């Protein structure tokens, strides 16, 4: 098999990363994207890698699981992480981006790459097995292609219901009430905080749980399979009186200097709000604000009515209301290898959230590995796997058939997984202190990846280009 064009289906985070890795190894790539001709319930533009949920990639520090995954991707000059870094906005200890500039930049970079051919149409079937192909259509894969994939695998597709938060205009909030602060004073005061007293909280919770829901096809409220890491705010409210206060509305660690001395315990307990709603910048100027943790399936009219009950948001104007959508993913442990090749077809790869990884950086990691291996296959070389000690490697092991000790019962309950230190192998020397243990995971991973990169470059015979964006 000599060098040939590789097909990447889907220009989301994983598809963009895969196309970038393939093109930068000297292989032509055809990137197929169905938008704008066929959109989804969650997308609003035709740009590549549009972020439809949060604008956050998670914790930035490399001694946190999400942060380590980002740092690993930087080691391989990931297009997604380079672009996220370039268009980051203040978010305390997290990597958050100006989602409009982020997606427009990715579209421009790939559209002008000499080895990337962009095709705008809906892929209705899997390409023939002679074509090296990466499926990166994400959780919002079109029904027609999802059915073709289902027929190919012979397994019923899995799904869960996911939701996105509303976005409001920054100049429509009341800054006499809303205050700036980051939890535990980490980083700059990047979040805007709306304090609630006990009565305001109870009235708000009551409105949430009684608010009218939007009707969704295939959605049954009694048996809905939610993704637990992205629950609708009204569902969190239904689970208990104080559930929101221990989740997205927790007030612990947030303090307004106008309330007095933070270190005066009596004053702190007296002045601390019963609950706090946080807003995070969508852009550097703060013209657009994301309601943190406010994924919802409320009707749009109900969102406007109920969310304006939040102190400081009484006159808030909404750029975008929250939406809920059905997400599809594969029973990956039964279907794919740690190289992300399908067991039934070595020329077919899967990458991104459709494989059951959760989070933006995790989607990029799948695209990175699938792109590298599709390139190697096009060069008639053997695909690779990332070191088990790396976050990328541990994620790919979880979603693949690598972990043979996983029981059939667990496989049948396969659910999407974000980056987690619980997935990586234990350290040779046990470390009880959690912070020190996570730091040791980080150091071990990055050391292993430096050696792995040398092996990878040798596999490409130094034809692997670690290209940085302009």
Tens digits of per-residue pLDDT, 198-236?
999 999 999 999 999 887 554 444 445 555 557 889 999
Confidence of residue 411 (pLDDT cuts 50, 70, 90): very low
pTM exceeds 0.95: no
d(CA 306, CA 103): 31
Whole-number pLDDT of residue 463: 57
Q: Where are the domains of the chain?
A: 6-157+330-459, 164-324
H or E element, residue 301? helix 300-307
Complete DSSP assignment for 306-346 = HHTTSTT-TT--EEE--EEEEEEE--GGGTB-TTSEETTEE
Q: What is the per-residue pLDDT across 346-392, written as a single tens digit (0 to 9) for each?
A: 999 999 989 988 889 999 999 999 999 999 999 999 999 999 999 99
pLDDT-wise least confident of 149-158, 329-338, 401-410, 418-427: 401-410
- CA atoms 14, 20, 26, 27: torsion sign: positive
Find out if CATH 3.40.50.11900 is the number for domain 6-157+330-459: no
Alpha helices for 197-279 (secondary structure H): 198-210, 233-238, 265-271
Domain with residues 164-324, CATH architecture: Beta Barrel (2.40)
pLDDT mean over 166-195: 87
Residue predicted with more confidence, 414 or 386: 386
Whole-number pLDDT of residue 162: 67
H or E element, residue 163? strand 158-164
Residue predicted with more confidence, 26 or 263: 26
pLDDT mean over 244-253: 92
Burial of 10 (0-12, 13-18, 19+ CB in 10 A): buried
d(CA 393, CA 96): 24
pLDDT mean over 310-315: 97
Whole-number pLDDT of residue 422: 83
Residue predicted with more confidence, 315 or 254: 315
Identify which of 135, 138, 139, 137 has the alpha carbon closest to the alpha carbon of residue 161.
139
User: Residue 107: pLDDT above 90?
Assistant: yes
Confidence of residue 158 (pLDDT cuts 50, 70, 90): low
Are 456 and 448 a contacting pair, CB within 8 Å? no
What ranges make up the beta strands (E) of 174-237?
Answer: 179-180, 191-196
User: Residue 409: pLDDT above 90?
Assistant: no
Region at 162 (left for phi over 0; alpha for psi -120 to 50; beta for the rest): beta
pLDDT mean over 95-104: 94
Angle formed at CA 444 by CA 371 and CA 372, multiple of 5 degrees: 10
Q: How many residues does the chain have?
A: 470
Are 10 and 33 a contacting pair, CB within 8 Å? yes
Confidence of residue 41 (pLDDT cuts 50, 70, 90): low
């Amino acid at each position: 098999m000599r060098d040939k064009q590789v097909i990447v289906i889907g220009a989301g985070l994983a598809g963009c990363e895969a196309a970038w890795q393939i093109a930068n190894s000297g292989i032509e790539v055809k990137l197929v994207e169905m938008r704008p001709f066929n959109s989804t319930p969650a997308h609003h533009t035709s740009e590549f890698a549009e972020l439809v949920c949060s604008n956050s990639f998670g914790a930035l520090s490399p001694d946190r699981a999400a942060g380590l995954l980002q740092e690993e991707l930087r080691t391989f000059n990931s297009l997604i992480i380079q672009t996220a870094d370039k268009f980051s906005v203040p978010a305390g200890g997290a990597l958050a981006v100006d989602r409009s500039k982020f997606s427009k930049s990715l579209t421009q970079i790939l559209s002008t790459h000499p080895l990337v051919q962009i095709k705008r149409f809906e892929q209705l079937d899997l390409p023939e097995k002679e074509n090296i192909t990466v499926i990166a259509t994400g959780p919002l894969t079109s029904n027609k292609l999802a059915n073709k994939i289902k027929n190919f695998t012979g397994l019923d597709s899995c799904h869960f219901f996911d939701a996105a938060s509303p976005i409001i205009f920054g100049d429509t909030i009341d800054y006499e009430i809303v205050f700036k602060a980051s939890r535990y004073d980490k980083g700059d005061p990047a979040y805007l905080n709306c304090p609630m007293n006990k009565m305001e909280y109870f009235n708000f919770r009551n409105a949430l749980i009684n608010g009218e829901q939007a009707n969704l096809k295939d959605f049954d409220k009694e048996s809905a399979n939610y993704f637990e890491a992205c629950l609708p705010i009204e569902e969190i409210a239904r689970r208990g009186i104080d559930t929101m206060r221990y989740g997205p509305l927790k007030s612990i660690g947030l303090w307004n200097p106008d309330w007095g001395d933070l270190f005066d315990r009596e004053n702190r307990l007296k002045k601390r709000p019963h609950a706090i709603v946080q807003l995070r910048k969508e852009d550097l100027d703060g013209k657009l604000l994301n309601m943190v943790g406010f994924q919802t399936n409320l009707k749009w009219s109900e969102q406007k009515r109920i969310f304006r009950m939040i102190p400081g948001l009484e006159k808030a104007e909404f750029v975008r209301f929250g939406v809920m959508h059905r997400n599809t993913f594969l029973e990956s442990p039964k279907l794919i290898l740690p190289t992300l090749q399908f067991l039934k077809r070595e020329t077919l790869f899967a990458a991104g959230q459709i494989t059951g990884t959760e989070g933006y950086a995790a989607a990029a990691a799948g695209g990175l590995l699938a792109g590298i291996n599709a390139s190697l296959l096009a060069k008639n070389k053997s695909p690779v796997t990332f070191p088990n000690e790396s976050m990328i490697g541990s994620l790919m092991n979880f979603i693949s058939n690598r972990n043979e000790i996983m029981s059939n019962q667990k496989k049948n309950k396969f659910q999407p997984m974000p980056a987690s230190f619980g997935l990586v192998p234990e350290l040779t020397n046990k470390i009880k202190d959690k912070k020190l243990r996570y730091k040791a995971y980080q150091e071990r991973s990055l050391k292993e990846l430096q050696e792995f990169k040398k092996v990878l470059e040798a596999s490409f015979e130094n034809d692997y280009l670690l290209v940085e964006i302009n």
